[in-house]
Amino acid sequence: MPNGENNIMSEEYSANNIQILEGLEAVRKRPAMYIGTTDAYGLHHLVYEIVDNSVDEALAGHCDNISVTIKEGNSIEVVDNGRGIPVDPHPTYKTSALEVVLTKLHAGGKFDNKSYKVSGGLHGVGISVVNALSAKLSVEVFRDGKIYFQEYKKGNAVAPVKVIGKTNKLGTKILFLPDKEIFEEIEYNFETLSGRLRELAFLNANLKISLFDERESKKAAKNKEHVFQYKGGIVSFVEFLNENKTSITKKPLFFHSRKGDLDIEIAMQYIDTYSETVFTYANNINTREGGTHLIGFRSALTRVLNDQLKKGKFDKNVTQLSGEDVREGLVAVISIKIPDPQFEGQTKMKLGNSDVKWQVESVVNENLGLYFDENPQDVKKIIEKCILSARARIAAKKARDLTRRKSALENDALPGKLSDCTERDASKSELFIVEGDSAGGSAKQGRDRFFQAILPLKGKILNVEKARLDKILSNEEIKTLITAIGTGIGEDEFSIDKARYHKIIIMTDADVDGAHIRTLLLTFFYRHMKKIIDSGFLYIAQPPLYRIKHEKELRYAYSDEERNGIVKKFSGGKVDIQRYKGLGEMNPDQLWETTMDPAKRTMLKVAIDDEIEAESVFSILMGDVVEPRRKFIEENAKNVQNLDL
């Protein structure tokens, strides 16, 4: 037997190698299995797990007030006025039900559909996982006229449940501090939490959710407070989304129906823009990847509008509307409540219940058909918009076909201005999008040709927020960009698997024009290649703002604060400071060393933490309505840094 095989066989593998992780040990050993990650996402997810339990009490009709407080030191307090977690002895474990819920995975009142008809946290791991991943956690339960208290450290009870006072309140208070042994950094973002809590308040009409920030650190929003409560529920949600847009119909259409155990709420409105904005939820969980409820809604919407097209006197050249046509300018919120939701994947991003499709489809067919029959003026406006979309779609298809035929006749289908890399593995390849030939020249000379490609764009690209796809595809710079990336564009053609680079880096000048070009590019990716962002492929380069020279020493600063720190360290007033306004001012070696070298550079990954806020910001900054943009600039002017005047 060869020596290598002999060595392998000599390694003992027996029953002694089999580990059994008791209680919450498994959670601490593999936290990402339960909360996704141990970065900022996972840290904030802990809060959502606790709040979701309180919201489940609201869904069951026992809670109408939830407060979340970020305490000094980044501990979190969540208080609700629900029934309070049971504290009586559990029949199996012979210990307080409170301790069972906090220390046993898959322990909870959500499995028999008696205590909770519907629930977001059906896995029964929420509060126990938070306990396991907290350095310390304490809980107070208000019920039976008493205040019950218990404290934990890293998931283990410090002492049994005890009574610490009397009360006439009902509810639960949980205070926890995430464990620094588990999380990369413990710093809660007020706006991130605010976005999710606002979403929950929209989805649960009349539920009051408050967020307070008591931290005094520089990073915190000192004594900041947000209170969310919406009587209109998801109708208020749609109105919020359309606050800075021009709507086609006067008010959102809303219908609420039941199909067996399924509760369906849909609010929708058409606006005078070219993108689709639809948020879908199942038991308050944001199903970002859609699922059967979205499929049912879209199918019915297309069918009903085509029925209306055939009934009315419209453009005879447009006899059929596609799904893409009927969704242009649509803003909708779909919220279903279901006793036994089936989510695809660990992250609960996609609803999989097959029967939900036809149930939602039936409800939309019935309610939308009835509404359109009773509101002919609204349907006329909507159909006319859909017809314009259909014409644009046909024109865009012709433009794409022409581009393909042209590419097929050329030896190289890639744009001539693209300086491609030699690496063909997309996961190892980078594309730098730069402005102008000057920066493009420096970048081409400074890059590593093996894995870095350079695409210089001439001037500002089209603002896609104000344009349909046919007009977008007639813009030469955008066509060049689409061809270089390789994914295609449009609902029927885009494929993330065809991306030629897994790092697409926007590298613009540190001035007003550079910021504008960066914003236009971000708008394009957000509206037409969002999966590039969702896949983590989009980045923003961070070139230095200053070149600081003292005698023979050369340093670079990326902020005013860093510049001041460097200048302080140099002895004497003889310091040469150069403020970079354009990448073309750097020679290729400097650009490589400061901005392009993977070993030294700093880049920002573009991510969407709050989709609702992102939608609002793009609409305000890039849309047609001027007043909201003026207001936004006035309110945020004080936060501007490095303003180029």
H-type alpha helices, 113-268? 126-132, 190-203, 234-241
pLDDT of residue 570: 80
Of 228, 253, 275, which closes a domain?
228
In this structure, are strands 277-282 and 65-70 parallel, antiparallel, or unpaired?
unpaired
**Structural domain of 370:** 234-393
Closest CA to 546 of 555, 537, 535, 538: 555
The model's pTM is 0.82
Same domain, 89 and 134: yes
Same domain, 259 and 193: no
Distance of CA 83 to the CA centre of its chain: 32
* pLDDT tens per residue, range 275-285: 899 999 999 98
* CB 504 within 8 Å of CB 431: yes
pLDDT of residue 638: 60
> Of 25, 384, 513, 613, which is the active-site residue?
513
pLDDT of residue 1: 41
Domain count, the chain: 3
* pLDDT tens per residue, range 282-303: 999 899 889 999 999 999 999 9
H-type alpha helices, 593-625? 611-622
- The CB-side HSE value for 221 (13 A sphere, CA atoms) comes to 15
In this structure, are strands 285-286 and 503-507 parallel, antiparallel, or unpaired?
unpaired
Name the pLDDT band for 393 (thresholds 50, 70, 90): confident
Helices and strands of the chain, counted as H and E runs? 21, 24
Which range in 97-106, 155-164, 306-315, 548-557 is most confidently predicted, on average pLDDT?
155-164
Identify the three-state secondary structure at position 449: coil
Q: The tokens of 96 are what?
A: 């307080």
* pLDDT tens per residue, range 51-69: 999 999 998 899 999 999 9
**Could you tell me if residue 105 is inside a domain?**
yes
CA distance 226 to 211: 5
Same domain, 346 and 449: no
Instruction: Using alpha carbons only, give the angle 366, 341, 242 rounded to the nearest 5 degrees.
Output: 55
Spatial neighbors of 24 by CB under 8 A, at least 6 apart, are: 103, 105, 128, 129, 131, 132, 155
Q: Could you tell me which residues are beta bridge partners of residue 555?
A: 548
pLDDT of residue 6: 46
Same domain, 515 and 431: yes
User: For the domain that residue 339 is a member of, what is the CATH number?
Assistant: 3.30.230.10
Name the pLDDT band for 165 (thresholds 50, 70, 90): very high
pLDDT of residue 106: 66
Task: Name the DSSP letter for residue 606.
Answer: P
Burial degree of 283 (CB within 10 A; 0-12, 13-18, 19+): buried
Mean pLDDT of 139-153: 96
Closest CA to 279 of 261, 267, 264: 267
CA distance 85 to 370: 45
User: For the domain that residue 612 is a member of, what is the CATH number?
Assistant: 3.40.50.670
Same domain, 61 and 87: yes
Tokens 């489809």, residue?
Answer: 361
CA distance 439 to 459: 12
**Could you tell me if residue 628 is inside a domain?**
yes
Name the pLDDT band for 9 (thresholds 50, 70, 90): very low
Of 393, 409, 437, which closes a domain?
393
Spatial neighbors of 333 by CB under 8 A, at least 6 apart, are: 202, 234, 237, 238, 241, 265, 266, 267, 268, 278, 279, 280, 281
The pLDDT mean for the chain works out to 86
Q: Give the residue, 413 or 180, on which the prediction is more confident.
A: 180
Tokens 């898959």, residue?
Answer: 106
- Per-residue CA distances from 269 to 123, 251, 329, 383 (Å): 35, 7, 8, 13
CA distance 427 to 423: 10
Q: The tokens of 95 are what?
A: 């210990």
Mean pLDDT of 7-30: 59
CA distance 55 to 126: 13
Identify the three-state secondary structure at position 525: helix
* pLDDT tens per residue, range 459-474: 889 999 988 888 998 8
Of 201, 228, 255, which closes a domain?
228
Same domain, 337 and 351: yes
Mean pLDDT of 350-360: 94
Round the CA-based radius of gyration of the chain to a whole number and report it: 28
Question: How far separated are the first and last CA of the chain, in Å rounded?
Answer: 77
Return the sign of the alpha-carbon dihedral for residues 564, 570, 574, 575.
negative
CA distance 274 to 102: 48
- Per-residue CA distances from 405 to 128, 335, 401 (Å): 59, 44, 6
pLDDT of residue 18: 43
**Could you tell me if residue 556 is inside a domain?**
no
Q: Is 511 a catalytic residue?
A: yes
> Of 49, 263, 465, 509, which is the active-site residue?
509
Angle between helices 376-409 and 292-311 (to 10 degrees): 110
pLDDT of residue 124: 42
Name the pLDDT band for 413 (thresholds 50, 70, 90): low
Name the pLDDT band for 264 (thresholds 50, 70, 90): very high
Q: Is 435 a catalytic residue?
A: yes
Q: The tokens of 247 are what?
A: 């709507």
> Of 80, 179, 435, 615, which is the active-site residue?
435
pLDDT of residue 122: 40
Mean pLDDT of 44-51: 94
Same domain, 222 and 266: no
* CB 157 within 8 Å of CB 150: yes
**Could you tell me if residue 14 is inside a domain?**
no
Task: Name the DSSP letter for residue 496.
Answer: G
pLDDT of residue 397: 80
Name the pLDDT band for 498 (thresholds 50, 70, 90): very high
Angle between helices 476-485 and 376-409 (to 10 degrees): 70
Q: Is 185 a catalytic residue?
A: no
Same domain, 113 and 216: yes
H-type alpha helices, 497-559? 512-528, 530-534
Mean pLDDT of 98-106: 86
User: For the domain that residue 69 is a member of, what is the CATH number?
Assistant: 3.30.565.10
* CB 451 within 8 Å of CB 429: yes
**Could you tell me if residue 360 is inside a domain?**
yes
**Is 132's pLDDT higher than 80?**
yes
CA distance 146 to 632: 49
* CB 418 within 8 Å of CB 453: yes
**Could you tell me if residue 152 is inside a domain?**
yes
**Could you tell me if residue 515 is inside a domain?**
yes
DSSP per-residue string spanning 235-275? HHHHHHHTTTS-BSSSS-EEEEEEETTEEEEEEEEEBSSSS
Tokens 């009927």, residue?
Answer: 326
**Is 571's pLDDT higher than 50?**
yes
Instruction: Using alpha carbons only, give the angle 248, 530, 446 rounded to the nearest 5 degrees.
Output: 135
Q: Is 509 a catalytic residue?
A: yes
Name the pLDDT band for 10 (thresholds 50, 70, 90): very low
* CB 212 within 8 Å of CB 68: yes
85-99, 374-388, 449-463: the lowest-pLDDT one: 85-99
Closest CA to 617 of 241, 218, 306, 214: 241
Dihedral angle, C-alpha 80, 48, 266, 270, nearest 10 °: 120
CA distance 534 to 608: 8
Which range in 335-339, 408-412, 508-512, 629-633 is most confidently predicted, on average pLDDT?
335-339
26-35, 342-351, 355-364, 600-609: the lowest-pLDDT one: 342-351
Q: The tokens of 397 are what?
A: 């298809």
**Could you tell me if residue 162 is inside a domain?**
yes
CA distance 565 to 570: 9
> How many residues appear in the chain?
645
CA distance 34 to 150: 24
Q: In one letter, which amino acid is 449?
A: R
Same domain, 60 and 182: yes
User: Residue 582: phi, psi to the nearest 5?
Assistant: -140, 145
Same domain, 361 and 432: no
Name the pLDDT band for 616 (thresholds 50, 70, 90): confident
* CB 555 within 8 Å of CB 548: yes
Same domain, 73 and 188: yes
Same domain, 503 and 527: yes
> Of 276, 511, 562, 613, which is the active-site residue?
511
**Is 388's pLDDT higher than 70?**
yes
